[in-house]
Chain A
Amino acid sequence: MLKVENVDKSYKTHGFLKQHRRKILTNINLECQRGECLGIIGESGSGKSTLGRLLIGIEQPDCGVITIHGKQIRDRKQRKGHVSVVFQDYRSSINPFYSVEKAILEPLRDYKMKEISDELLDRLLLQVGLSPDYKYKYPYELSGGEAQRVCIARAIATEPTFILLDEAISSLDVSVQLQILDLLKTLKSEYNMGYIFITHDLQAAAYICDRMMIFKDGQVQETIATKNLPNVQSSYARKLLQNLITF
């Protein structure tokens, strides 16, 4: 289980008068079980990616604790093999000098997995809807959606217990989106993976998430089961739904 308790986070800002800190996250509490998908929906700039960086332990909260299976996430050894991530800024998260093959297999090498066969790589690429020929390409040769899918393949390669997906399907056309969402659903039930699914796409969230957390100004407005989405209480959540441009 991934658990966040009473977490605060602030960053320094360079105001004109004096240096002060701006609070980004205030008193965040959440839990995500294995086999569960928790959606985080909210205003742009409200601190979703910041929370994501805390969840995977690459930044530390000012106060509060984050644990995975009861152990502190700060501890790099605890994280290994348990948590992987697809960053919102997917382009700069792939080393520009790595081929797709190297980029995807990089985390596996790290864990000293025994046989890294070409088969695994080909299967991963096919699963995210790319032809196996893509393994020879370099990041600058990839379209936005292709780069994003390479990151997804890399994240699922290690079969982690939790994956943080930060706007991970935002650059994909709808048919590929559906394919990826279905893949994630399958992995979730097969390997009992848990997802933290950060998105602004309410419809995609409704498709995959079991619960959704509505986020504004660094605070949780409300957490609801997806099936209760029509009954959201907070005014912000209602406004989000009203402004949705549906097809």
Chain B
Amino acid sequence: MKLLEVKHLKVWEVQTGNVIVHDTSFTLEQGQCLAIVGESGSGKSVTSRAIMRLNNKNLQQTGEIFLKNEALHLLSEKHMQRKRGKNLCMILQNGMTAFDPSCLIKVHLYETLHTHFGWSENESEQALMQVMEKVNLKNPQEILHKYPHQLSGGMLQRMMIALALALEPDIMIADEPTTALDTISQYEVVQQFINIRQQMNCAIIFISHDLGVVRKIADKVLVMKDGEVVEQGDVQAIFANPQHDYTKYLIATRGAINDHFKKVMGENVPC
């Protein structure tokens, strides 16, 4: 079943008329994972925020967005707000900006869970303890009682992922969710993303520049450059046989860092 359908999405800057995302269309099926890769500044975050209708006010968008056949682009802001969290959940690129710096971490989390499930603090705490363990966060009690600036970058990132796991949304949009994680935590988190897809039938939009991770968890990939989708399709097919020059270039440059690593590691390259 088609879960999300984006048709002819266009985003531009109001003042200058400068177009940031050109005519972008894609679909997402239930249980599917779509990766968005591409150049820094190519419009990946703007595209994903457009789906949530969360872009800065100096940007405007047109195009149609359907979630389970419901037209999100026609909803009032008040109705849209209800979709965020339970139906569409976003893990932001920068953890620090996602939490209110003046409150303890738990305040925001309990509030969100209360809004969507009506849970008491106690129920929320129980649920959070479970998901925090899944993303390799130790001492959950202590973490919940800290302010955002008292947590490390990777801890904030995993805290957002934990909240998303607790919310069990229809669609999870994760913007560079593993950038601040060591390889072990990253492995756990990637495993969680794979699990929730299988268990909860949740679909994922996964923005990342880490092609290794993308290949591991995504079914489909969308390659962006300068606000345009230059190529989209099956992950394995595109990585094995890229058509567009930019995709070829992207894959080749990782090669340069990779080759060096292989040289250092000699025979011992893990797979």
Point out residues on A near B: beta carbons under 8 Å.
11, 13-16, 22, 41-45, 48-49, 88-89, 91-92, 140-141, 143-146, 149, 167, 170-178, 181, 200, 202-204, 206-207, 226-227, 229-230, 239-247
Contacts and interface: CB of A to CB of B under 8 A. Distances in A.
Interface stretch (B24-32, B76-84, B182-190): B182-190
A48 B181 CA distance: 12
B97 A44 contact: no
B261 A202 contact: yes
A210 to B, nearest CB: 12
19 contacts: A43-B185, A44-B155, A44-B181, A88-B153, A92-B96, A143-B41, A170-B180, A171-B40, A173-B37, A200-B186, A206-B264, A207-B257, A241-B268, A241-B270, A245-B212, A245-B216, A247-B210, A247-B212, A247-B258
A206 B40 CA distance: 23
Contact of B152 (A44, A145, A174, A242): A44
Contact of A200 (B45, B182, B215, B260): B182
Contacts of A242: 270
Contact of A16 (B141, B175, B267): B141
B270 A244 contact: yes
Given A91-B94, A177-B253, A246-B258, 7 more contacts: A41-B182, A45-B152, A167-B153, A173-B209, A174-B250, A229-B264, A246-B212
Interface in B55-95: 56, 58, 93-94
Interface of B: 37-41, 44-46, 56, 58, 93-94, 96-97, 138, 141-142, 145-146, 150-155, 158, 175-176, 179-187, 190, 209-213, 215-216, 249-250, 253-254, 256-258, 260-261, 264-271
B257 A203 contact: yes
Given A203-B258, A226-B264, A241-B270, A171 B93 contact: yes
Contacts of A141: 58
B180 A181 contact: no
Interface of B is mostly: helix
Contact of A140 (B56, B186, B258): B56
Contact of A144 (B138, B176, B190): B176
Contacts of A167: 153, 179-180
Given A11-B150, A144-B93, A247-B215, A200 B41 contact: no
A49 B184 contact: no
A230 B45 CA distance: 37
Given A170-B179, A175-B249, A206-B261, A247 B40 contact: no
A89 B193 CA distance: 24
Given A14-B145, A44-B158, A146 B269 contact: no
B185 to A, nearest CB: 5
Given A146-B40, A245-B213, A44 B180 contact: yes
A115 B88 CA distance: 51
B254 A174 contact: yes
B187 A245 contact: yes
Contact of B45 (A143, A173, A203, A229): A143
Nearest to B137: A45
Nearest to B179: A170
Nearest to A147: B94
Contacts of A15: 142
